[in-house]
C-alpha cells in the first residue's frame, strides 16, 4: 500500500534542543518527498524537498531509501518553529500522479 506515516501526533521540545520529526513512506516507485509546514493562522507551505538537498530555517531532511524514511531534523529548536509539519510524497504511475500526505506532527517548542 502507498502511504506516508508520521508516528508522532505531538512533539514537545525545549528551546535549543534538537528536533527530529519522523516520516516513513511506502511507495512502489521512486517518489519525490516533501516537508510542508503550517504556522498558526497561516496557510500550508513548502518547507523543503528532498531533491533540493538544502537547509531551510535550519531544517534538513535526508532521504533514506533503504529505510524508506525522510526524517526532518534541526539541531537547535526555536520557539518560532512551533507549527504543524506534514510529510508528503508525489509519484507518477501509469501517467497519473499520486500525492500522499501524512497525518502531520504538531511541534511545540517550549521556552
**Segment 42-81, which members bind other proteins (CB under 8 A)?**
43-46, 49
- Length of the chain in terms of residues written: 111
Helix, strand, coil content of the chain in percent (nearest 5): 5, 50, 45
What does the CA dihedral 37, 38, 43, 44 come to, rounded to 10 degrees?
A: 30
| Residue among 14, 39, 76, 99 that touches other proteins (CB under 8 A) | 99
Nearest-approach distance from CB 108 to other proteins, in angstroms = 19
Nearest to 38 by CA among 107, 110, 109: 107
Q: Which stretch binds other proteins (CB under 8 A): 10-18, 22-30, 67-75, 93-101?
A: 93-101
State yes or no: residue 17 binds other proteins (CB under 8 A): no
Q: Sign of the CA dihedral 91, 26, 40, 82?
A: negative
State yes or no: residue 90 binds other proteins (CB under 8 A): yes
Q: Is the Cβ–Cβ distance between 49 and 108 less than 8 Å?
A: no
State yes or no: residue 103 binds other proteins (CB under 8 A): yes
| Residue among 32, 69, 82, 106 that touches other proteins (CB under 8 A) | 32
Residues that bind other proteins (CB under 8 A): 4, 32, 34, 43-46, 49, 86, 88, 90-92, 95-104
Amino acid at each position: 500500500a502507498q502511504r506516508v506515516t508520521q508516528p508522532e501526533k505531538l512533539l514537545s521540545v525545549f528551546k535549543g534542543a534538537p528536533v527530529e520529526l519522523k516520516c516513513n513512506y511506502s511507495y512502489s516507485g521512486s517518489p519525490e518527498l516533501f516537508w510542508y509546514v503550517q504556522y498558526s493562522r497561516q496557510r500550508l507551505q513548502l518547507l523543503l524537498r528532498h531533491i533540493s538537498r538544502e537547509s531551510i530555517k535550519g531544517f534538513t531532511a535526508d532521504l533514506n531509501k533503504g529505510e524508506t524514511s525522510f526524517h526532518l531534523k534541526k539541531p537547535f529548536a526555536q520557539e518560532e518553529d512551533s507549527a504543524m509539519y506534514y510529510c508528503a510524497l508525489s509519484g507518477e504511475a501509469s501517467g497519473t500522479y499520486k500525492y500522499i500526505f501524512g497525518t502531520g506532527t504538531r511541534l511545540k517548542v517550549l521556552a
